[in-house]
């Protein structure tokens, strides 16, 4: 919620306002400032989740939650890019990136979860062959929990893979259109240049209501 969920809608509203006034330079400055915002907040949230996972979940789920940590950082950047194109009254890029994200998420989640379960199963089977019957039963019971953890970690990897793929897609779309954006900035005749301090206040004033309402 804090690092990424409200970003696309909030950024889209702020940038669209500037675009309607033909303040293309300020619109781009908002985009840059928003990117710094998600980089900072997303990094803090990711580090908090990774190193403080034990505060939020039980011991067995800590590895799973840590796998999610990089996804939070990446999703904030993706949200800004989506909001930027939404502000230009174009949902095509966002829609395609969401479809690609879910496809990659599904495929990688299933594949990585299956691979994780098989890995844990193989380890337990090898240990059972080497140990006594009593030890083998203990190892087998322990492996059931391990398989669940490995499977959940694989599913978490799928979520991150989907976000990363969507981010690469949106970054590629932005790169293709970058020259157009910069040429439009050069044609900005309004002469209005908002300071990054004022822009930061504006972003905070829009983002906070989205967070609270969510």
Q: What is the mean pLDDT of residues 125-137?
A: 54
Tens digit of each residue's pLDDT (9 = 90 or more) over 90-119: 889 989 999 999 999 999 999 998 988 887
| Per-residue model confidence (pLDDT) at position 205 | 82
Tens digit of each residue's pLDDT (9 = 90 or more) over 4-28: 667 777 888 889 988 888 889 999 9
Tens digit of each residue's pLDDT (9 = 90 or more) over 51-86: 998 898 888 889 999 999 999 899 989 999 998 998
Cα angle, residue 200 at apex, residues 199 and 203 outer, rounded to 5°: 85
CB atoms within 10 A of CB 57: 13
Tell me if residue 6 falls in helix, strand or coil.
coil
pLDDT at 133 over 60: no
* Radius of gyration of the chain from its Cα atoms, rounded to whole angstroms: 22
CA nearest to 80, candidates 183, 130, 10: 10
Going from the C-alpha of 78 to that of each of 1, 184, 199, the distances in angstroms are 14, 23, 20
Tens digit of each residue's pLDDT (9 = 90 or more) over 171-213: 999 999 999 888 888 888 888 888 888 888 888 888 778 777 7
- Spatial neighbors of 61 by CB under 8 A, at least 6 apart, are 53, 149, 152
List b or e across 139-161, with b for residues whose CB sees 16 or more CB atoms inside 10 angstroms.
Answer: beeebeebbbbbbbbbbbbbbbb
- Residue length of the chain: 214
| Per-residue model confidence (pLDDT) at position 3 | 59
Rounded CA gap, 170 and 84, in Å? 10
Rounded CA gap, 168 and 153, in Å? 22
pLDDT at 158 over 80: yes
Tell me if residue 180 falls in helix, strand or coil.
helix
Is residue 9 classed exposed, middle or buried when 0-12, 13-18 and 19+ CB atoms within 10 A define those classes?
middle
| Per-residue model confidence (pLDDT) at position 134 | 46
Tens digit of each residue's pLDDT (9 = 90 or more) over 28-42: 999 999 899 889 888
Q: Is the pTM of this model over 0.75?
A: yes
């Amino acid at each position: 919620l804090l690092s990424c969920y409200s970003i696309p809608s909030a950024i889209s509203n702020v940038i669209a306002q500037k675009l309607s006034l033909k303040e293309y330079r300020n619109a781009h400055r908002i985009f840059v400032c928003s990117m710094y915002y998600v980089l900072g907040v997303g990094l803090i949230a990711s580090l908090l989740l990774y190193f403080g996972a034990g505060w939020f979940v039980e011991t067995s789920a800590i590895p799973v939650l840590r796998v999610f940590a990089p996804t939070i950082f990446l999703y904030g950047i993706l949200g800004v890019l989506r909001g930027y194109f939404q502000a230009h009254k174009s949902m095509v890029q966002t829609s395609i990136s969401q479809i690609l994200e879910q496809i990659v998420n599904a495929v990688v989640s299933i594949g990585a979860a299956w691979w994780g379960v098989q890995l844990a199963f193989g380890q337990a089977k090898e240990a059972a062959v080497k140990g006594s019957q009593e030890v083998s039963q203990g190892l087998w019971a322990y492996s059931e929990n391990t398989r669940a953890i490995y499977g959940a970690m694989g599913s978490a990897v799928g979520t991150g893979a989907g976000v990363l793929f969507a981010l690469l897609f949106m970054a590629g779309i932005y790169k293709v259109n970058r020259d157009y954006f910069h040429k439009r900035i050069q044609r900005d005749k309004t002469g209005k240049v908002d300071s990054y301090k004022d822009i930061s206040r504006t972003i905070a004033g829009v983002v906070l209501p989205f967070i609270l309402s969510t």
